[in-house]
Amino acid sequence: MATMNWKKLGLIFDPNMLKDKGKSAALMPIPEVLDYDKGIMRVYFAPRDTENRSEIHFFDVSIHNPFEILRISHSPLLSHGKLGTFDDSGITPGNIVTVDGVKRLYYTGWNLLINVPMNNSIGVAKFVNPESIERYGDGPVMTRTLTEPYSCASPHVMCEDGVYRMWYASMDKWLLENNTPKHYYNIKYAESDDGLNWKRQNHIAINYESDGEYAFGRPWVLKEQGIYKMWYSYRGDRYLIGYAESHNGLDWTRLDEKAGISPSEKGWDSEMIEYPSIVDLADGRYMLYNGNGYGKSGIGLAKLQEEGK
């Protein structure tokens, strides 16, 4: 395939907009199309509260004037979990799936620990109305197991022919480096008949390819003309955006050199870029992503250019 060419349109959401509400950062943006022809979308994201706990908010924006926020939620659609539950330290969005009229949000739950900084598990909630989300229950749908004894996080779920398919970040190990715990995780695959009870066979979808790699961020998967396409972030000395393709959704070929987007020379996304999500509107394909500080500097937008332009 030819190298993609993403034209950066700039920073469309500055977390300082929420400063007076005691919020900071804007983690892991995910899009929902509100009007395909008019190019209006809702972007869900996770700011942190004054106790550094992330929660789910949204803003609406038109692709024709992406620097003007049409509407923003000032209270969370879904907040951190009850004390002692898997998500009591915060939640970050994975993706939204609608099946049989029910719209579900799959998300990452965060726990703070002692010997290592955190543990993650995967939760699911449903939309009660466009501005209210409630959990199916207080527990996760995926967490540590006998054969996957560390965290699982960053789910992307697709329902295909009645089968729920998930690609997720799976913690591989912790290592002490300079007396500091360092996390290693790759991207694995799971399946479910109902989207609540998941079967895992420890199948690795995206794995490390160099000694310097140690972490993969949230995957985003589309299927086009029989080809599965995945965007993700991968980390060595800094986060970059990668790309892979598959014929079955199980076995992937990394094509990171074809991703077509990289950190800027200066500015809000010059140190790193990560957590991409893709949305198609009437006038083209767009990417939302985070930049410096894992979302501290805000949310950017890029548009895929046609070949030869």
Question: What is the C-alpha radius of gyration for the chain, rounded to an integer number of angstroms?
Answer: 18
Q: What value does the mean pLDDT take over residues 109-136?
A: 96
pLDDT of residue 307: 67
- Can you give the pTM of this predicted structure? 0.96
Per the CB < 8 A criterion, the answer to whether 110 and 122 are in contact is: no
pLDDT of residue 20: 87
* pLDDT tens digits, one per residue of 56-68: 999 999 999 999 9
* pLDDT tens digits, one per residue of 186-243: 999 999 999 999 999 999 999 999 889 999 999 999 999 999 999 999 999 999 999 9
pLDDT of residue 260: 97
- Helix/strand/coil (H, E, C) string of the chain? CCCCCEEEEEEEECHHHHHHHCCEEEEEEEEEEEECCCCEEEEEEEEECCCCCECEEEEEEECCCCCCEEEECCCCCECCCCCCCCCCCEEEEEEEEEECCEEEEEEEEEEECCCCCEEEEEEEEEEEECCEEEECCCCCCECCCCCCCCCEEEEEEEEECCEEEEEEEEEEEEEEECCEEEEEEEEEEEEECCCCCEEEEEEEEECCCCCCCCEECCCEEEEECCEEEEEEEEECCCEEEEEEEECCCCCEEECHHHCCCCCCCCCCCCCCCEEEEEEEECCEEEEEEECHHHHCCCEEEEEECCCCC
Q: Is residue 309 over pLDDT 60?
A: no
**Residue 85: partners with Cβ closer than 8 Å, 6 or more residues away:** 109, 138, 139
Q: What value does the mean pLDDT take over residues 154-172?
A: 97
pLDDT of residue 306: 82
pLDDT of residue 221: 98
pLDDT of residue 74: 82
Question: Which of the four pLDDT bands, split at 50, 70 and 90, describes residue 308?
Answer: very low
Domains and CATH numbers, the chain: 6-303 (2.115.10.20)
* pLDDT tens digits, one per residue of 35-91: 999 999 999 999 999 999 999 999 999 999 999 999 999 899 999 999 999 999 999
pLDDT of residue 26: 97
* pLDDT tens digits, one per residue of 172-193: 999 999 999 999 999 999 999 9
pLDDT of residue 1: 80
Rounded Cα distance, 128 and 58, in Å: 15
